[in-house]
Amino acid sequence: MKNNFAKLTCCFLLISISFSCNRVADKAKEKIDSGAETVGRTTSDVVTSFGKGISDANKVTIALSAELKEKGLSFGKYYLSQNTLGKENTISIYFIADKNIDQPVHLKLFDKSGVEMGRLQQNIKLIQGTAAYYEFVFDAHVEFELKSKITID
């Protein structure tokens, strides 16, 4: 009888220890998962902020002439892209027309010191209330630099 009681007690202790260990292991796993999630989220935030900082530093400033604004032309987003040589020399600009417009526009590209780097001319044709992207490809030797400026006349 004592022998059965001892066996039963041992079994009970082993089961209790096993459940306790599993519970401790589960809690530890939860903490590790939570920590890993926090680290992942923080790393993602840092990478996103770092990328945004680089993107903001490379932004091209665009100045639309008062004459074109009076004619009802404005612009929204723009995108820079690379040519086949890997040089960033193309800009796509989203133009918005508050009035009918059908005329050439002249783009001039300047570096951060104000030195001219390129010129383009392209016709813009939009009906009042419409908008469209127009792509401007500068010479293959041209590459947008930090703090470049484009004037549109």
User: What type of residue sits at position 2?
Assistant: K
Q: What is the pTM of this model?
A: 0.63
**Owner of token pair 């902020």:** 49
pLDDT at 47: 44
DSSP-assigned states of every residue in 32-59: HHHHHHHHHHHHHHHHHHHHHHHHHHHP
The confidence score (pLDDT) of residue 11 equals: 56
What is the per-residue pLDDT across 44-89, written as a single tens digit (0 to 9) for each? 454 444 444 445 445 799 999 999 999 999 999 999 998 888 888 9
DSSP 145: -
* pLDDT attached to residue 65: 97
Q: What angle (nearest 5°) sits at the alpha carbon of residue 22, between those of residues 16 and 24?
A: 100
Measured in degrees and rounded to the nearest 5, phi and psi for residue 33 equal -60, -45
Of 114 and 14, the structure prediction assigns the larger pLDDT to: 114
Q: What is the rounded CA–CA span in Å between residue 61 and residue 79?
A: 12
